[in-house]
């Protein structure tokens, strides 16, 4: 599970970095908006997965 999360984080960070770079180079706000939305979605997804892992560990105790 952690390997999948690390791979997801790597892909998301590369995508956000690329979108920010393209947004600054082209001065197109759509790319900056895309990077912000991807960041928000990723934070929510990681919180949900973290909560699920925590609940799973508490149930096993």
In order of 30, 32, 48, the CA distances from 45 in angstroms are: 22, 20, 5
Q: Which residue pairs, CB below 8 angstroms and at least 24 apart, start in 31-39?
A: 38/12, 39/12
pLDDT tens digits, residue range 7-58? 999 999 999 999 999 999 999 999 999 999 999 999 999 999 999 999 999 9
What's the pTM value of the predicted model, to 2 decimals? 0.83
Rounded distance between C-alpha atoms, residue 28 and residue 33, angstroms: 9
Q: How many CB atoms lie within 10 A of CB 19?
A: 20
């Amino acid at each position: 599970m952690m390997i999948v999360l690390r791979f997801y984080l790597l892909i998301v960070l590369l995508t956000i970095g690329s979108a920010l770079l393209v947004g600054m180079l082209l001065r197109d706000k759509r790319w900056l908006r895309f990077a912000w939305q991807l960041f928000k979605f990723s934070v929510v997804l990681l919180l949900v997965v973290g909560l699920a892992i925590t609940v799973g560990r508490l149930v096993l105790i």
